[in-house]
A and B are shown apart, each in its own frame.
Chain A
Amino acid sequence: MNRAALYLIFCASAAIAACAGPSDLQKAAGAFSTATSVTADVSLGYMNNLNKIERDGYLARLRWNPSQVISAQVLSTQTFADKDLAVRYAAIGTLRAYAKVVSELTSTESAQLVADNAKQLGAQLQDTSNKIRGLSAQTRETKLMAEFFGQLAKLLIEHKQMTTLRELVSGSADRIDKIAAHLAIDVGGAAERELARFSGVRADAVRFYNDNRTAMSDEQRRKALEEIRANEERLDALQARLHEITKLFDEFRQSHSSLNKALANGSSVALAIERTERFLQRAMDLAKPIEALAAR
């Protein structure tokens, strides 16, 4: 019984030493994971289309300038080099890998799996030993001990995960900020290129209408005005998107900062309550096999 009590105290210490409760962290990690996914998708979309924006913009202007011929050199020129783009793709990939490992570290799945396996292993061992004459008497506690050690392993694994997560998130904060800041400028710049290119196309269409409206048939005028209307809508959407991009990257950085704070701020009342609740639950889980052991 004394030994069991010592185990309980040891496990209680491990639970208290663990930082924020999993549900609190899982919320912050979940928000960060979503923010990373959206940010990575948007960034990838713009980087993939950076050269296309320039080529499409060039071709769109030719429509309103019949005197200008198409230049093969302009068509085949990669304004933004593959080697520069590859670095951005790597950065986006690393952000995704980072969010994945953060998510894994906040998950209790592995720890639970260890506890479940230990419990089942104990049950199997007891069942097996029962089949051997004379062995069952010496190994009847096997099942309970395995369950107990499973719970202990679960606590220690979660503690290790929390420690690793805290080190990872606080150690990576500067790098995440830097990469996010660089991507924000690149994606913002790409959106600016799209807007600047399209603004020229939109102005061409309006000038063409103003210069030729009297020579147009009713049908031609209707089509031209419809196109101008659609262009105005697209221009508004492109301008709005430019502002959205700035907000997106700000929110991404904020979500990482929240995760970092949730891990660092171990003294907040909410976290303390959550941690206590978690500890009590664990203590009860641990107490069951210990009580059963003591009763034998």
Chain B
Amino acid sequence: MTTMTTAPELTYDLVQLILAMDNWSIDAPSAADRQKAQKLADELRERHLRLFHAEFTQRTSQYKAAVAELEAEVARAKVVMKDIQKLARFLESARKVVAVVDTILGHAAKIGIV
């Protein structure tokens, strides 16, 4: 039975191969082998970039859909929080109005109206 290798697994394995090839470009017994290993490591680096870049570009549309849906959920919850905050502010405003009325009544009491 074979299992599909995912893109992240593939890029990870590719990096491990690059590290191994870079090491071989140092340790290979002949100068020719060291050069070959260096060239191969650079090619793998380029392939890793191309693979990651292609997947990165492809994922953009997948992000868009998930982000739009999450934004809609957040917006709905924000409306509820705003309504609750409005109620708190309304009571605060009411207190301010009462304070003004209180001041007026204080003056009215001084001159015997109330």
**A residues near B, CB below 8 A?**
54, 79-81, 83-84, 87-88, 90-91, 94-95, 97-98, 101, 104-105, 110-111, 113-114, 117-118, 120-121, 124-125, 127-128, 131-133, 153, 157, 160-161, 164-165, 167-168, 171-172, 175-176, 178-179, 182, 185-186, 188-189, 192-193, 195-197, 199-200, 202-203, 206-207, 210, 242
Contacts and interface: CB of A to CB of B under 8 A. Distances in A.
A95 B66 CA distance: 11
A74 B18 CA distance: 22
A192 B48 contact: yes
Interface of B: 7-8, 11-12, 14-15, 18-19, 22-23, 25-26, 34, 38, 41-42, 45, 48-49, 52-53, 55-57, 59-60, 62-64, 66-67, 69-71, 73-74, 76-78, 80-81, 84-85, 87-88, 91-92, 94-95, 98-99, 101-102, 105-106, 109, 114
Contact of B63 (A54, A87, A203): A87
A178 B70 CA distance: 10
Nearest to B88: A113
Given A124-B102, A164-B80, A114 B88 contact: yes
17 contacts: A81-B57, A91-B66, A98-B70, A121-B91, A125-B98, A128-B98, A164-B81, A167-B77, A188-B12, A195-B15, A196-B15, A196-B18, A200-B42, A202-B22, A206-B26, A207-B34, A242-B12
A90 B80 CA distance: 23
B105 A188 contact: no
B105 A192 contact: no
Contacts of A133: 114
B98 A203 contact: no
B85 A110 contact: yes
A199 B53 CA distance: 19
A84 B25 CA distance: 35
Contact of B87 (A114, A131, A185): A114
Contact of A157 (B22, B60, B84): B84
Chain B residues touching A, majority SS = helix
Contact of B8 (A168, A185, A193, A206): A185
A171 B98 contact: no
A98 B70 CA distance: 8
A79 B49 contact: yes
B73 A172 contact: yes
Contacts of A210: 26
A160 B95 contact: no
Contacts of B77: 101, 105, 164-165, 167-168
B69 A175 contact: yes
Contact of B76 (A104, A127, A168, A188): A168
